[in-house]
Each structure stands twice: as structure tokens, then as C-alpha cells.
Structure 1
Amino acid sequence: MSRPKGNRAAARSRRRAVPPLRFTLPTVVLLTLLLTLLLRGLVTNEAFHDARINVSVDKTTVPAALLTGGPVIDARGPGAPRSYRAQDHTMALTFDDGPDEKWTPQILDVLARYHAKATFFVTGSMVVQYPELIRRILAEGHEIGLHTFTHPDLTLQSDRRITWEMAQTQIALAGVAGVHSALFRPPYSSDATALDDLTWPVVKKLADRGYVTAFIDEDTEDWQRPGVDAIVRAALPKKPGAGHVVLMHDAGGDRSQSVAALRILMPQLQSEGYRFTTVSQAIGAGSPMSRASDFQRWEGEAFLYLAHGSVLVMPVLVVLLAVVGTLVFGRFALMLFLSVKHARRTRRRTFSWGPPVTEPATVLVPAYNEQECIANTLNSLTAGEHPVEVIVIDDGSTDDTARIVRELDLPGVRLITQPNSGKATALNTGIANASHDLIVMMDGDTVFEPSTVRELVQPFADPSVGAVAGNAKVGNRNGLIGAWQHVEYVMGFNLDRRMYDELRCMPTVPGAVGAYRREALERAGGMSEDTLAEDTDLTMALHIDGWRVVYAENARAWTEAPSTVGQLWSQRYRWCYGTMQAMWKHRRAVFASGPAGRFGRVGLPLVALFMVLAPLLAPLFDVFLVYGLVFVDAPKTFAAWSTVLLAQFVCAAYAFRLDRERPLHLFSLPLQQLVYRQLMYLVLLQSWITALTGGRLRWQKLRRTGEVDAPVAA
């Protein structure tokens, strides 16, 4: 039984509603990287860090009794807030901002030596980093209070931020030790007399959520490192025998003076009858610690697992960023050096490939549904300066391509029609019917300048040359997508191909403009259908067979580049996937000897590094850019990104100068780096997915407009 049409339409609609894997997976990868950086930034107190400190003197809303009361304030419940003092001959040592892997253990050792207890007001970020110290603090009978997660001044934060700071620290405590704490100390706080109209609402708000706030009696100001004696004097009770809550620090810098001061202070006060205990014991209250529920503990453990993972992943990301940075700048340097060398060599008056090549060539034009472009293509060939035979291979076109070729009836142009079999088969048909030993290949959407074929065949004066790569240029460059491709083409053909030419490992003779020696084609087996990048596959085969592949900069061809994102995606997806197929097909060249080994150990690694690995890792620049601009240091981050952009601009400007192009389109370069590069990353990642899953990609025909006319002057 067939499915009703309505059900089929609904099924198609549901399928369209689900984003394709090629979009969702790369997007998920980028978001995961950004969230990993963000989580790591939270753990290290780098992200969302707020160092602002509020200054206020108004106390109109603070209950007067609290300003003259003790340092511990309990404003929970409906009654009037109460304050508490430490009992006589009792000192509550409190340590803020920790734990710290170096100083907290030393402080714990001193406390253990004098059988003393203390209260540690910890930050959530430090709890996550040093969970074993939290467990030791609790195991030795000390008390833990909350000091927020990232140590901001809460008077400057929103209610949502305050809630998050406290809740996240509780989650961290639950994950580390399975406990919660109802004791709290605001960052940048002082004694109770410092309560003001901005601090009091925070205290009251947290009291409504079950927190008791602990201020201090004495501040040792040990964070300023005033000296051991000064710290001891500041910690001593101003009234003999009176109980005190004393503030010290076990993190945030060098705390050697604090440790030394404890070794003097504790035996001195113990000899005077003082006992050292926790804040809650000092005021005669119960412990603020409570056991977290199983779900809260599981939630905390999951958070810790992710947080520690982000910390561990960060060095890997930094290494990868360094790798891609090295590749990018190394490629820039190598391209500039070798392209200058290539330009100087080929532009010398004495430079020559040999005697001028005047023998005629066969130009093959594979065409599939090229009715918009084929007339321009053929007119450009018949107007050329070099004698040519033109063979149009109509590969089963369903439009008027064949009819247009017949009606043009141009001299020297032959038409061969065949059932649709693919570009490689069409080119092999053309090779079999070619009358000459020099064979030029071009696309059906491309136009040549009058001198293109002549310039393209001159390197064949050197008998070692088996193929020549021409200079493909974007004809439809007025739109933004066209401008981006124009910049890419100019850089690729005037820097990349010069570099590869100097290294004698040209990876691709472009299908839009390339020439071959018939003997080289026959020895390589012609155009292969093994990959979707038949031009790259053939070029690699020629290298392995010992032929030299060179670049002719003045052999210019004007092609119609994709004008929409969808068409660009299809084209680059096929290129990327085909290049991967070709590399895999010729992978054994790495272990070969002679010319094949040279290409395998120089050309293939360069293609893998510069055309696969570097573009795949390039989005790390943008992930770190977003993270740095939003969470770390915007000016420094922007400066670093601008340095990369400047290097790119210098290379592009030099490429434009070599190609005698107007630099107008270079203004699209910044946007190209932000948008176009992400698109290429998505394409490359999809190609990897297709390759790893064993998928097969079919030939994808691009829609043409025929807007590139013939001939176009350089």
C-alpha cells in the first residue's frame, strides 16, 4: 500500500525542520569549544571577573543596633536582626579567598600544631581547583564559609548574579565534600560598623535565603604584606580578654608573612588563656555545615567533572592554537619568500622555457548544461592567438548546450555528444579524439584571454614538463561572495602556486585552465574516476610518474564563481572531499623513492598541513577571539587578532600587486576572515565526516548565469 500524499508531504516537512548534520555538528563543536573555555575561565576566575569595589557612606537603612553590635549578623526570620560577638578569651581566626595549594596547607599545619580550629571562607573557583584541600579542612575539624564563586563586590551585582555566585559555590562544595554551608562573608567586607545602605540589602537578601553573615573585629591587612610584627599587632585584641573575629588570608598572593605571624600569635595568646576556634563555636552557635542531598552531590560531582575536564582540555586547545598559528604564519612566510623568488626568476628578461612553442594544441571543453556560458567560452577560444582545435564534449546535457554549439558553427570547433557519464569520462573522450600532442583543458563556464593558450603551452619547451597550471580568475567579483572568492583566488594562484612551483610539488592543475602533454596523460592513465577532484588526482599521479608540473602566471582564464552560499558550499565540499580522496589514493608516495618520494614527503604533507589541518583548526582563532573580547582583555585580544589580519592583508596585497589587480576588494578581507572562514570550516568538517563514515559524494552541478563575457582584459 502506498503512503498518502499528505503523509509524504508531512514527512518531508518534518525532515526539513531538522537542521542537516553538516550544520549542526560543526556548530555544536564550536559552541562546545567556547563553553569549555568559558567553564575553564570560571574555574580560574578569569571569565566574569569583576574587580570593581563600591564606596558608600550612607547608613540610613541599616538598623542602629547592628552598627554597634558584634561581627556576626543573623537576619533570618521575621524578627529583628541580631548580632553576636565572640565569647571572652576566644579568637576566631578566619581565612579568606582560599584554598591555595601552597599556603593553605602551611596554615593548616600551624593550626594542627597548636590544636586550634578556624573558619575558611572559600571561593567557589578555588574549591573546584583544590578539592583535596577542602576535604582536609573539614577532616581536621575546621569550618567552611562561602565567599562567593568569583569574588565580586556583591553590592554592584544583580540579584541573578548574587544568586548564581552563592548557588555555584554550594554546588562546588557539594561535589567536593558533600556539604553545604550557611555561613557567608561578603568580598571586600570589613567590620559591622562598615555596614551601609548598599551592603545591608545584600546581607538581608542572603539572610532570606538562609545565610548568616560574618564580618570581623580586626583586619590584619596581611594581603598588603606589612611585615610579620605588624600582622601580629593587628590581630591582638584591643581589650584584654575580649573575644575577637580576625581576618587573614590564605590565598591571593605571597602569604609567608601570615604563616609566620600565626607561629608568633597563637602561642602568645594561648599563654594568656585564649582558645582558637571557629566562628560558630566562638559565638556559641551550632555548626553552619549541613549534608547535601544525593542529587545535590551528584550535581556537584558532574560540575566538577566538567570543570576539571575544561581545565585539562585548555592546554590541548592552547597547543592546537599554537600549531595553527605556526602553520598560518609559517605559510605566510614561506609563501612570501618563495613567491618573491618565483616572480624574480620568471620575470627576468633572460628567463625562457626554451624555443617558443608554436605547435597547435587541442582544447577540451567538457560541458553539462552550460547553455548560459558555452557561447562565451567558444568565442574566447576562436579569438585566441595560438592555433587550436576545440573539442566540446557534451556530457548528456538536458538543456540547449549542444544546439548552441552547432548553431555557432565556429571554425575549428568539434562537438562530441555522449550519455551523461561525468566529467572525467568526458575528458577521456576528448583525449581519445584529440589531434595534437598538447592538450588544454578548461571548464564550460570559463573564458580565455587571447593569449591564454599561447602562454599556457610555452613551458612545454622543457621536455621534463608534463603539465602546466594556469591562472584562474573570478569574473563575477562584484558581489560580496564573489569578492571573497576573488581575494582567495588571487592569493591562491599568485602565492600558493608560486610556492608549490618553487618546491616542485604543485598539488593541482585547475580544471578551469590547465595544459598537459599527451604522453604524460597516457602514462598516468588519463582522467580517473576514483575521486571527485579528478584534476588533483591527475596532478599527483603526474608527480609520482616523474613529470614536472609548473605554473604559468600569464595564462589567465576567467571563470564564473558560485554566487550563493549554497552553490559555494556544494563546490567547496566537492573540492575538499575530492582532495582528501586524492591524498589517500596516493598516500604510498610517502614511502616511495625518486620523484614520487619527493612529492610524497614534501607535497602531500604540505597539502595536508595547509589545505586540511590548518583550515580545520583555524576556527580556534575565532573561538579565542570571542572569549578574549568578552571575558578576558578586549584590547589585547583585538590587537592579537589584528596582527593575524595584518599578516593576511600584507600577503593579499602582495598577491594583488603580482597579479596587477586593483586592491579595492581587499576591504572585504576582515569580513572574509569572520564569515567566509567559518563557512570553509563547516565544509571541511563535513568532508571529514563524509570520509570517516565512508559516504560517497555525487557530482553536483552549479547553476550558471553566463555573466562572464569573453574575452576579459587583464
Structure 2
Amino acid sequence: MGRSRNELGFIDASSATLPPSAFASVQGVPRREPSSSYYIPVRRKFGLSLAAGLAWMAFSVFAAQGWIEQLSSVVGAVPAWLAIFGIAIFPGFMNAFLVSSLLLDRRPPISVRTENLPGITILVAAYNEEASIVSTIESIARQHYPGPMQVIVINDGSTDATAEKLAGLDYGWLQVVTLEKNAGKSSALNVGLGLTKFRLTITVDGDSYLYRNALRNLVGRYLSDPPDTKAVAGAVLVRNSRRNLVTRIQEWDYFHGIAAIKRLQSLYQGTLVAQGAFSIYETATLRSLGGWADTVGEDIVLTWAMLERGYRVGFAENACLFTNAPERWGQFIKQRQRWSRGLIEAFKTHWRLLFKPRMSTVFIWWNLLFPYMDLVYTVVFIPGLVLALFGIYWIAGPMTLLVLPLALLVNYVMFRIQSKMFLEQGLKVRSNLRGFTFYALLYSMVLQPACVIGYLQEVFNRSKTWGTK
């Protein structure tokens, strides 16, 4: 049976690879017609969404009274309240706030013409990327960016054939810098920053593939956003999505969770991570901040430095880049440990953001709750599931089903929004029901314990390596 364009799923690397003529035929970016519907100011959207989250939270506390009393009789009142708030109350508030915000969100159209755009410098930090670096550079070439372009590949002491692969490329705008010894991603990017000659800098990972119009859409969004915008994150999706079950599950995380959160944060004028995999920055701002710090999570630390200065960080949901996700659970766990360590690094350096009076501050506090919620999920909820198998419903029981309707609504809203973006970009949505099943049922059981380990690693200051991005 044939599959329709709206069918559940995603595209992989093969379907993302279009011939040069397909890229050349694109004349700009899709423009959304002005809406005649009533405009709701952003601050009012924030207030409505916050009210929805608090209302759901109040309802959850009321409905959970019996559950709290039962658990209190076993472990005491304080542990019971801490456990149930971490398992159900706070996640419920976040989901209600998220779905309300997404329903109210109306992305502004790109307001600049994209036939002629300013010069850009693209930095590609590469370490042992022999299998993908040529494809990455060729995907940049196929963009046919309508403006001056400088691409700097920093070969960070690779021990494989990365240097040989790069030597075989012949593009006038390509510059290769080879470091004799591996210095780390932040150091490699800073070397490239020192050679940057344009006012806009874009970072791209060495194992990625830029989908059609990605550069136009990213630069167009940056130029269309308010003047205090100093960075815009692109949309990162899974390239090797059909490799195995591990990548199929992550496909949903990138397509749903990560994209939806960035869209939400951008709505309230403060995307928390302009990820190194694909983002645009104002070069002067990068230099004024000293470039990328020598940290595990160099991208989140840099983004928070911008937010602490009062700058805005946006999100271009239609600037799509496909990247290789970890293909083994061990690689995935290391990646998420690194991300968790980056979060703690950001709090260590930019804790003042907790007290900055702006809408995006709610997400800083939101992130402050993640270590607590991940810990409760790991040491309380997962054991509670085991107890439930033996008929003991202290933790996981009928009351936990309260969060399911809201979780299903959140996933439905995210899917509809992302599917619309895919349709606008000419991307085909393919079947991935098996990946979603494991994503919904088992993903958190791997993700959240991995995050807890990452937090502890950063607390005890373990050394860092390039590792998994």
C-alpha cells in the first residue's frame, strides 16, 4: 500500500540527499500569508500558558491527596510530597504550559528577501570524521547560498583519513586548518573564529547534512528577528534514523521533544541552547564573549552568556540539518551525560540568570528542576514500577494514569506542528510506529538515569573529552 505525505515518520539520509539541480531550483523560502485572526501579544500568551500550567498543577495536587496520604503512611510526609511532585505534579505543570503555548504560537514569517543575503562564515570542527566530512561539505555547496561564503574546517588532530578526504575537495570558499594535536571542540571553534571574516558565523557539525534552503532560512530568520537577537538555533533532525531501534527512538526525541522545547523557548524570547550542531551567531558578540569556553557543554554555556547580557536567542524551525545520532545505547548514554554536565556548567557560570526579570527566566528555573526530577524518576519511579508488578502501588498505580491524557495531547500537538513544517519544506513523513512505542514507554528509563550520572560527573569534576556530541 502506498504511503501518504502525512504518514507518521521521518526521512533518512538518502531521501535528504537531493541532486544539485533540486537545490538550485529553489527561489527562496515559503512565506506565510498574514493572518487576519486576532493577534495575542506574547506576554499575554505567556500569562495564559502560565495560568493553564498552574491550574493543572492545582488540580493534580487536589486529585493526588489520597495517593500522597497513602505514600506518607509508608515513607513519611516530606519524602512522599517530594516524590509525587517530582513524578507527577511538576511534569504535569510543564506539559500543560507547553501544550498551551504551542497552541497559541503563531510563528512570524521571514520578513527579509532571501535572494541576496549577507556574507557568512561556516565553522566545521571535525575530529575523526572520514566517513561523513565530504558529504557535509557537499551539502553546504548544494545550498547555493545567495551571498559571500567562507567555510573553515578545523581538523582537530584527527587520527583517521579526515585530512585526506578534505584534501580531495576543491571549493574556492573552503579553507582547511589542521591542528597537530587534538585540542577539543571549543578550542577548534575558537581557532576558526580567529579566521572569520564575515559578521555572521554559523557552526555545523562534521557529520551532518544541510537540507535544502537551510542556510537561507537560518539567515533569514536571524535578520527578521528583533535587533537584540544575537543567535538563532537551527532545527536538528536525525540523519541515520533507519539504522536501528536506538536511532528510531531518538528520531522522535529530536522531532518532538527538542524541536518543541526550542520553539516554546523562542516564543518567549530566550532559546536556552543555540546548539553547536547548527546555529548562527553574530561574530562580534562571539568575540566579545571570548568565543566558546573550554567546557563539556560549550554551546549551552555560550548561549547562557548571551542571555545573561540581555540578548535574545531565537529558533528557525524550518532551517533543517540532519545529523548522525548515536547508534548504540552506550554512545547515547555518553551523549546525554555530556548534555547534563553542560547544564550544570551553565548554572555554575551563569546562575544570575535565575534572577533576571524576563519571560525566559521560567525556563532557567525549569532546567533547575531537571536534576531533581531526573533523580526522583531514577530512584523512586523506576523502583515503583517494579513494585507495581507485584501488586504494590505506592508509587506507580492508578493515580499515575492522571498524566497520560495530557501527555498524549502534548505529543499530538507536537506532531501536528512538526508535520506542517515538514510539509512546507517538502519533507516526506514516513512510518516509525515501533520507534514511537519504545520512545513513549522505555526512553525515559534510559535517559533520566543517564542524566543523573552526568550531573554527578560534573559535580565531581570529571575530565572531558570530545566524546559524543
Which deviations, in whole Å up to 9, do the C-alpha atoms of 1:235-269 show, x marking residues without a partner? xxxxxxxxxxxxxxxxxxxxxxxxxxxxxxxxxxx
2:458 matched to which residue of 1? 691
Change (3 A) 1:647 1:565: same
- Cα distance in 2 for partners of 1:332, 1:600 equals 16
1:568 matched to which residue of 2? 332
Change (3 A) 1:331 1:446: same
2:387 matched to which residue of 1? 627
1:680 matched to which residue of 2? 447
Equivalent positions of 1:130-529 (< 5 A) are 311-313=74-76, 316-342=79-105, 344-346=106-108, 351-354=109-112, 356=114, 358-386=117-145, 387=147, 388-418=149-179, 419-461=181-223, 462-478=226-242, 479-529=244-294
Asked if the contact 1:653–1:666 (Cα under 8 Å) also holds between the matched residues in 2, the reply is no
- Cα distance in 2 for partners of 1:669, 1:566 equals 20
Q: CA deviation at 1:627?
A: 2.7
Percent identity of equivalent pairs: 27
Q: CA deviation at 1:641?
A: 4.7
Q: CA deviation at 1:673?
A: 4.5
Q: CA deviation at 1:309?
A: 11
Letter aligned with residue 207 of structure 2: D
| Unaligned ranges ≥5, structure 1 | 1-43, 47-307, 704-714
1:607 matched to which residue of 2? 367
Q: Residue 293 of structure 2: SS of its match in structure 1?
A: coil
Q: Residue 353 of structure 2: SS of its match in structure 1?
A: helix
- Cα distance in 1 for partners of 2:392, 2:293 equals 52
Letter aligned with residue 446 of structure 2: L
- Cα distance in 2 for partners of 1:671, 1:622 equals 16
- Cα distance in 1 for partners of 2:92, 2:144 equals 41
Q: Residue 358 of structure 1: SS of its match in structure 2?
A: coil
Change (3 A) 1:327 1:633: closer
- Cα distance in 1 for partners of 2:374, 2:437 equals 16
Larger radius of gyration: 1
Asked if the contact 1:369–1:401 (Cα under 8 Å) also holds between the matched residues in 2, the reply is yes
1:121 matched to which residue of 2? none
| Unaligned ranges ≥5, structure 2 | 1-68, 423-428
Q: CA deviation at 1:577?
A: 0.8
1:671 and 2:438 are equivalent in the alignment: yes
Change (3 A) 1:313 1:687: farther
Q: Residue 366 of structure 1: SS of its match in structure 2?
A: strand
Asked if the contact 1:366–1:427 (Cα under 8 Å) also holds between the matched residues in 2, the reply is yes
Residue from 514, 518, 538 that aligns with 2:302: 538
Residue from 616, 620, 639 that aligns with 2:375: 616
Change (3 A) 1:450 1:312: closer
Q: CA deviation at 1:426?
A: 0.7
Q: CA deviation at 1:645?
A: 4.1
The one of the two structures with greater contact order (alpha-carbon pairs below 8 A, sep at least 6) is 2
Q: CA deviation at 1:690?
A: 2.0
Q: CA deviation at 1:490?
A: 1.4
- Cα distance in 1 for partners of 2:455, 2:196 equals 37
Change (3 A) 1:584 1:663: farther
Which deviations, in whole Å up to 9, do the C-alpha atoms of 1:313-353 show, x marking residues without a partner? 465134421343122121111111222333x233xxxx344
Asked if the contact 2:232–2:316 (Cα under 8 Å) also holds between the matched residues in 1, the reply is yes
Q: Residue 241 of structure 2: SS of its match in structure 1?
A: coil
The TM-score normalised by the length of structure 1 is 0.50
- Cα distance in 2 for partners of 1:599, 1:511 equals 24
Q: Residue 390 of structure 2: SS of its match in structure 1?
A: helix
Change (3 A) 1:501 1:392: same
Number of residue pairs matched by the alignment: 385
Q: CA deviation at 1:513?
A: 0.9
Q: CA deviation at 1:311?
A: 2.8
Letter aligned with residue 281 of structure 2: Y
Which deviations, in whole Å up to 9, do the C-alpha atoms of 1:125-160 show, x marking residues without a partner? xxxxxxxxxxxxxxxxxxxxxxxxxxxxxxxxxxxx
Change (3 A) 1:413 1:355: same
Asked if the contact 2:209–2:239 (Cα under 8 Å) also holds between the matched residues in 1, the reply is no
- Cα distance in 2 for partners of 1:443, 1:415 equals 15
Q: Residue 505 of structure 1: SS of its match in structure 2?
A: coil
Q: CA deviation at 1:431?
A: 1.1
The TM-score normalised by the length of structure 2 is 0.75
Asked if the contact 1:649–1:669 (Cα under 8 Å) also holds between the matched residues in 2, the reply is no
Q: Residue 631 of structure 1: SS of its match in structure 2?
A: coil
Q: CA deviation at 1:615?
A: 2.8
Q: Residue 431 of structure 2: SS of its match in structure 1?
A: helix
Asked if the contact 1:369–1:399 (Cα under 8 Å) also holds between the matched residues in 2, the reply is yes
Q: CA deviation at 1:678?
A: 1.9
Q: Residue 338 of structure 2: SS of its match in structure 1?
A: helix
Q: CA deviation at 1:432?
A: 1.1
- Cα distance in 2 for partners of 1:310, 1:394 equals 60
Q: CA deviation at 1:663?
A: 7.0
Asked if the contact 2:96–2:406 (Cα under 8 Å) also holds between the matched residues in 1, the reply is no
Letter aligned with residue 407 of structure 2: Q
- Cα distance in 2 for partners of 1:323, 1:566 equals 26
Which deviations, in whole Å up to 9, do the C-alpha atoms of 1:300-319 show, x marking residues without a partner? xxxxxxxx998344651344
Q: CA deviation at 1:523?
A: 2.2
Letter aligned with residue 277 of structure 2: A
Which deviations, in whole Å up to 9, do the C-alpha atoms of 1:624-669 show, x marking residues without a partner? 33333422469x9665555534433332232222222637335434
Q: Residue 183 of structure 2: SS of its match in structure 1?
A: coil
